[in-house]
Amino acid sequence: MSTPISFPPTRSLVLSLIISLLAGHVYGKDVVIHAGTLIDGISETPRHQVSVVIHDDRIIAIEEGFTTPAGAEVIDLSTQTVLPGFIDCHVHIASKLPSRVNATEDWVTHSDLDRAFDGALFMRAMLQQGFTSARDVGGGNDSVAVRNAIASGKIAGPRLWVSLEPLGPTAGHGDPRNGLDPELSHSSWKNGIVDTPEDARIRVREHRRRGADLIKLMPSAGIASTGDDPRQQLMTDEEMRVAVETAHALGMKVAAHIYPAPAIEAAVRAGVDSVEHGSFATPETFALMKSHGTYLVPTLTVFEIYYVAARDHPELLTPGTAPKELANDLLPKKNFPAALKSGVKIAYGTDIGEGDHAMEFGLMISAGMKPIEAILAATRNASDLLGASDRVGSIQPGRYADLVATSADPLSEPTQLEHVNFVMKNGIVYRDHGQPTVGGGQ
Ligand SMILES: [Zn+2]
């Protein structure tokens, strides 16, 4: 792995530094981006010929026309479309593509330390895809370590919010012992187990102590897990209520992985902030979510990838899960138009680690979403779900300088979103002219 540093100093950078020192800026760098088109993550209407003024890691002004404050370095994106850095609200930083590795073998032959190195690699690639923020909803100590290493500038990657192990019952979707020899054990495998409301309260507080930013619940069973039925609710209403109450009291949001409609409705009433997947939701479920302001994170990407894996490489998946994948993975895409019609708030999420995080744009758009709505799902809505709209998700003064650019208009050519050619995070350029900079790695 290369050591991330800011982009290589150029003569103009050195010159602008000297000029800014002469201008009285004792420390700090001023950069101005000349954006041919700006999609700011607030409005549905793009603006043209706009200057984005950046000081250090923050956006400080947006000006009409191409202006150059004295001493500022110009980044010329005058023929490009500039957007806020994308946000993926559902990742697992160390998760490998299911067609590439045997899931069970990978699970029992890797430690959290191994997973941290995988996570570092996958997050570096994700930043290159234009994702400057992400929410990890189910990892271990590896996710905290990678989040901290990125935040302190040791490695390149999106800024991360992490949940640690999902909370759910014994034998539920989050129980790491499912399908294994019952005699096998590992000290971390009980970290997410909740079988009573009191367990829920304690686990939330323990997660907080260990560094969690949010809490993930597994109220219903899963698809990619052995021995459970995705149409069942497994956590009790009271366990969910206590988990949400404890998390919210600590200022943490709650994401809930749920498939069946009655379980979604119970979780929404318990106060969760987002429903992940929502495969078997009905129009009534979406209406209830809308009335509570609950987000839907559809994660069409993971279903697409696992459907193909179950069809082509069932032997690699967790034992017994390929039939569940084949029976259920196409439903969310089928349900997506009903979600759109309901007006429920939608935030962008893929449910992958390794792989193409921009795939979700194309999947949501082909299932009926307008390109601008897909962009806002990955910017404005995603930052709102993170509770971080004051820092990320839009291009306006006060926000981190997290920006991407495409060479053609993504509203008329949405595949552009899968090929960003410029990525800036925290005011540092990680990708330029379609290539990683020295700090961007790869
Ligand atoms: Zn997930």
Ligand 1 centroid, distance to 244 Cα (angstroms):
19
Ligand 1 centroid, distance to 113 Cα (angstroms):
20
pLDDT digits (tens, 9 = 90+) for 6-35: 444 444 444 444 444 444 444 567 999 999
Ligand 1 centroid, distance to 351 Cα (angstroms):
5
- If you average pLDDT over residues 254-268, what whole number do you get? 96
Share of the chain above pLDDT 90, in %: 81
- If you average pLDDT over residues 432-436, what whole number do you get? 95
At 7 the pLDDT is 40
CA-wise closest residue to 123 among 92, 166, 79: 92
CA-wise closest residue to 395 among 49, 7, 54: 54
Ligand 1 centroid, distance to 256 Cα (angstroms):
10
pLDDT digits (tens, 9 = 90+) for 71-111: 999 999 999 999 999 999 999 999 999 999 998 899 999 99
At 6 the pLDDT is 42
Ligand 1 centroid, distance to 24 Cα (angstroms):
49
Ligand 1 centroid, distance to 132 Cα (angstroms):
19
At 34 the pLDDT is 98
Ligand 1 centroid, distance to 138 Cα (angstroms):
7
pLDDT digits (tens, 9 = 90+) for 341-364: 999 999 999 999 999 999 999 999
250 versus 99: the higher-pLDDT residue is: 250
Judged against a pLDDT cut of 60, whether residue 172 lies above it is answered with yes
What does the DSSP assignment read for 410-424? TTT-GGGGGS--EEE
Ligand 1 centroid, distance to 297 Cα (angstroms):
10
Ligand 1 centroid, distance to 73 Cα (angstroms):
41
Ligand 1 centroid, distance to 378 Cα (angstroms):
17
How does residue 271 score in pLDDT terms, banded at 50, 70 and 90? very high
β-strands 86-91, 422-425: how paired? unpaired
Ligand 1 centroid, distance to 98 Cα (angstroms):
13
Ligand 1 centroid, distance to 287 Cα (angstroms):
24
Ligand 1 centroid, distance to 365 Cα (angstroms):
21
Judged against a pLDDT cut of 90, whether residue 178 lies above it is answered with no
Spatial neighbors of 334 by CB under 8 A, at least 6 apart, are none
Alpha carbon distance 414, 395 (integer Å): 20
Share of the chain above pLDDT 70, in %: 93
Judged against a pLDDT cut of 70, whether residue 265 lies above it is answered with yes
Judged against a pLDDT cut of 90, whether residue 300 lies above it is answered with yes
Ligand 1 centroid, distance to 215 Cα (angstroms):
13
At 179 the pLDDT is 86
Ligand 1 centroid, distance to 191 Cα (angstroms):
17
Comparing 27-41, 223-237, 363-377, 416-430, the range with the smallest average pLDDT is 223-237
What residues form DSSP beta bridges with 254? 215
Ligand 1 centroid, distance to 397 Cα (angstroms):
33
How does residue 369 score in pLDDT terms, banded at 50, 70 and 90? very high
- If you average pLDDT over residues 309-324, what whole number do you get? 89
- If you average pLDDT over residues 299-317, what whole number do you get? 93
Ligand 1 centroid, distance to 143 Cα (angstroms):
14
Ligand 1 centroid, distance to 90 Cα (angstroms):
6
What does the DSSP assignment read for 56-114? TTEEEEEEES----TTPEEEEEEEEEEEEPEEEEEE-TTPPPTTTS-HHHHHHH--HHH
Specify the pTM. 0.92
Ligand 1 centroid, distance to 79 Cα (angstroms):
37
At 274 the pLDDT is 98
At 225 the pLDDT is 81
Mean pLDDT, rounded, of the chain? 92
Judged against a pLDDT cut of 50, whether residue 165 lies above it is answered with yes
Spatial neighbors of 26 by CB under 8 A, at least 6 apart, are none
- If you average pLDDT over residues 155-167, what whole number do you get? 98
Highest mean pLDDT among 20-24, 43-47, 225-229, 323-327 belongs to 43-47
At 28 the pLDDT is 66
Ligand 1 centroid, distance to 323 Cα (angstroms):
19
β-strands 47-55, 86-91: how paired? unpaired
- Give the neighbor-by-neighbor strand order of the sheet with 295-297: 215-217, 254-260, 274-280, 295-297
